[in-house]
Structure 1
Amino acid sequence: MHVHDDPDVESAELAARLSGGDREALAEMYRRWSPLVHTIALRSLGTREDAEDVVQQVFVAAWRGRETLRPDRGSPAAWLVGIAKHRIADVRTQRYRTHRNLQALATEAVTEAAPPGDSDWAERLLLVHELERMGDPRATVLRMAFIEDRTQDEIARALGMPLGTVKSHVRRGLIELRDRLKEVERVSSE
């Protein structure tokens, strides 16, 4: 058996190359282990978009933290899975915060609102409800844009998303909200 036929030796060599700053080693690790990272993220988070974001974040973090890779303490795959678990936890934390913020906004809308029956109060509650139904990351982007009054550049930086993705979420989210609100209006007028 040749030394290079041993997957453990080959993985250790790949890890050593990455630690030394070899970008091709990162590309090889991505080819080998991105499907594993994607599967773990998809099962944990449930959306393809979030899973793809996690994969990207894991390999960026792997490159930035390549000095922490210790082949003598475990395989590169295990190291990548560890990074993935941290990123998945970050996404879950962000989801929880978004849900909590929307709940707080709904509570605030109720406590600041005029008596039930006031159309502004009802519209505000409806907006909060529709945003919550929309799910992340689109709901977070719209909340930041229209409730927190942040620019799309600020949102992109805060969420670590490309600006084009933020713009797409705003555009599609507004179309989705418009359609939902039209449907509510149609049903209530019948």
Structure 2
Amino acid sequence: MTTSEAVRQGPGDDQLIAEAFLRGDEDGFRLLYERWAALVHTVARRALGDSGEAEDVTQQVFIAAWRNRRGFCPERGTAASWLVGIARHKIADALAARARRARLAAALRSAPDAEPGPSEGRQAQQAVDRVVVQYELSRLPRAQQQVLRLAFYADLPQSQIAAYTGLPLGTVKSHARRGLHALRRRLEQGSR
């Protein structure tokens, strides 16, 4: 009998879903999502004020829940409260990323042009710089590339990178630090 069939047979649905989820049963995970995704989305939408961001947070919550399902302890609380707890952390990350983007946008609006002259020259130099950085980034070990791309192109904090990649947070931090040092060294050598 599948988890879906067992759940449809009577009371104790939440307990059966939680047990199946903890076993790594994909059907149990699907049922957990069907049961609690609307709650998580509502909490995220109310906190963020944006349905699109709430959808992203909801997805992140369930990815984190699946990857960290061994951290769920039914004796300490319900699946709903555990998921809302994860959602609070993901909402905080989303708000921090939003604040970083706002600060960057404000700084860009208020910054004077760094170089006088035609904007085409600056745009051409920026394009060359992007190509050089991309090339040097592609020469790094794959794990360092992935961490740096997620940090700088996807604007993810290291905790989300760890959740997304499945790497321990300390490893993510090490990859970021080593990758940035290697990039700096290579870019400085190229400018000489």
Shorter chain as normaliser: what TM range? Answer: 0.5 to 0.7
Deviations 1:58-86 (Å, cap 9, x if unpaired)?
11111001000100000000011111111
Deviation at 1:43, TM superposition (A): 1.1
Deviation at 1:149, TM superposition (A): 4.4
Is 1:158 matched up with 2:162? no
Is 1:90 matched up with 2:113? no
What stretches of structure 2 of length at least 5 have no aligned partner? 1-8, 120-125, 135-145, 157-192
SS in 1 for 2:154: helix
* TM-score normalised to structure 1 length: 0.56
Could you say which structure has the higher helix fraction? 1
User: 2: distance between equivalents of 1:159 and 1:49?
Assistant: 16
Partner of 2:58: 55
* CA RMSD of superposed structures (Å): 3.2
User: 2: distance between equivalents of 1:22 and 1:76?
Assistant: 15
User: 2: distance between equivalents of 1:37 and 1:149?
Assistant: 38
Deviation at 1:55, TM superposition (A): 1.1
What stretches of structure 1 of length at least 5 have no aligned partner? 121-144, 161-190
Structure 1 counterpart of 2:82, from 79, 82, 87: 79
Deviations 1:103-155 (Å, cap 9, x if unpaired)?
22233326x477xxx996xxxxxxxxxxxxxxxxxxxxxxxx98x9487x947
User: 2: distance between equivalents of 1:39 and 1:99?
Assistant: 24
User: 2: distance between equivalents of 1:85 and 1:104?
Assistant: 29
Question: 2:97 touches 2:155 (CA, 8 Å); kept in 1?
Answer: no
Deviation at 1:159, TM superposition (A): 4.1
Give the paired residue count: 126
Is 1:46 matched up with 2:49? yes
